[in-house]
Structure 1
Amino acid sequence: MSVVALAGCGSAGPAASGPQGGDGLPDTVRLMVSAPLTGPAAFAGTEAEKGYELAVEEINESGFLGEGVTLEIDVKDTQASVQKAASDFTAAVSDPEVSAVLGSLSSGEAVAQSPIAENQKMPTVYIQAGSPGVVLGDYTYRFPTPMSEYYDVLSTYVEEEGWDSVGVVYAPWIPTLKDVGEVALPAMAEELGMEVTASVATQQTTQDFSAPIEQVLASDPDVVSILQIGPANATAMQQLRQAGYDGPVLGNSSAGAGTLAPAGAAGAGMVWPVDFAPGADDPAVQEFVELYREANDGEDPYPYAAEAYDAVWFVARALKEADSAGREELKDAMATIAAEPWTGALGTDHTFEDNSLVVGGVAVEWDGSQENVLYSAER
Structure 2
Amino acid sequence: MKPLTVGGEAGATIVRELPQEVALTTWQTLSSVLLWAGQEPAWRGDLFEVTAMREWEERLLREEWDPELRDPLAVLVGELARLEHGSPQAIAQACLCVTDWATERCYWATAIAFAEAAGLSWPEQPQYAWTAGRLMRARGLVREATAWLKRAERVAVHKRDRDLQARALISQGNLHAFVGGDLRKALKAHGDALRIARRHGLRNREGEAMHDLFVVTWYLGRSREAEEYAAGAVEIYKSSSHPRLPALAHDIATSWAAEGCYGPALQVLEAAAAQFDEPSDRLQVLASLAFAAAGSGNAVAFSAVTGEIQSLPDPVVDQSGAALLDVARGAALLADWALAEQLASRVVERSHPWTEGRLRDIAHDVLHDVLRRQTPAAEGTGHGHPRAARLAGEIVAALRA
TM-score range, shorter chain: under 0.3
Point out which structure has higher relative CO (alpha carbons under 8 A, 6+ apart): 1
Q: Which has the larger radius of gyration?
A: 2
More strand by share: 1
**TM-score between the two structures when normalised by the length of structure 1:** 0.26
TM, length-normalised to structure 2: 0.25
